[in-house]
Amino acid sequence: MGIQPKIVLDRRTVVKEILKDRGDLLLVTGLGAPTWDAAAVGDHINNFYLWGAMGGAALTGLGLALAQPNRRILVITGDGEMLMGVGGLATISVKKPPNLAICILDNQRYGETGMQETHTQHGVNLSKMASGAGIKNTSIVYTKNELKKAIPIFYEETGPVFVNIKVTDKPAPMTLPPRDGPLLKNRFRENLLGHI
């Protein structure tokens, strides 16, 4: 299988770096830790958090990207969440939304249920799956330096782009954003569209 580089990146730091200069980015987060990571940076009106619907984050990003072709859409989700809807990568690659970026925070664990190992701990490579699905711009990030290079990919390179960031399984404190679905939906749309 080859020797995997040591995983050193901390998920909170990674998300903070990615969102530091987010501009008018629209962000969709997958359930669990990615939602809390984004909230820890600061709740934002351009964030839509999924609190459930496991397997749906990337596709929610696709629908949003198609509806808002002039905005940049970033999906931040976990490896377990992505695996549950992994066929969606093929759907996204066929649609080729140029404004969609997908970021996996891959700790190789199911964090919400007791840190059980996911398939990525056992030889399954999500960025290669994305490239098998036909997504041309894929990469994997292990180091700070690689992260630095990856951040412009999320914001500037032609989508769909898929970046798998390996992060440690060190748990971060829960930081909970609003979870009322209608509220999340309405504030996101009102800000974006000027109406609900």
Instruction: Specify the residue, 173 or 182, whose C-beta has the smaller distance to another protein.
Output: 182
Nearest distance from residue 154's CB to another protein, in Å? 17
Token reading at 24: 């008018």
Instruction: Specify the residue, 22 or 119, whose C-beta has the smaller distance to another protein.
Output: 119
Instruction: Specify the residue, 8 or 132, whose C-beta has the smaller distance to another protein.
Output: 132
Contact between residue 101 and residue 163 where contact means Cβ atoms under 8 Å apart: yes
Nearest distance from residue 190's CB to another protein, in Å? 11
> Please, which residues have CB within 8 angstroms of residue 193's CB and are 6 or more apart in sequence?
none
Q: Count other C-beta atoms under 10 Å from residue 185's C-beta.
A: 12
Instruction: Specify the residue, 60 or 147, whose C-beta has the smaller distance to another protein.
Output: 60
Between CA 40 and CA 55 the distance in angstroms is 22
Instruction: Specify the residue, 46 or 150, whose C-beta has the smaller distance to another protein.
Output: 46
Contact between residue 15 and residue 38 where contact means Cβ atoms under 8 Å apart: yes
User: Parallel, antiparallel, or unpaired for β 116-117 and 109-110?
Assistant: antiparallel
Instruction: Specify the residue, 8 or 67, whose C-beta has the smaller distance to another protein.
Output: 67
Nearest distance from residue 148's CB to another protein, in Å? 25
Scanning the structure block, which residue is given the tokens 């970026």?
A: 101
Nearest distance from residue 71's CB to another protein, in Å? 8
Nearest distance from residue 45's CB to another protein, in Å? 12
Site for another protein, rule CB under 8 A: 1, 26, 28, 31, 48, 50-68, 71, 80, 83-88, 90-91, 93-95, 110, 112-114, 116-119, 122-129, 131-134, 176, 179-182, 184-185, 188-189, 192-193
Nearest distance from residue 137's CB to another protein, in Å? 13
- SS3 string of 11-69? HHHHHHHHHCCCCCCEEEECCCHHHHHHHHHCCCCCEEECCCCCCCHHHHHHHHHHHCC
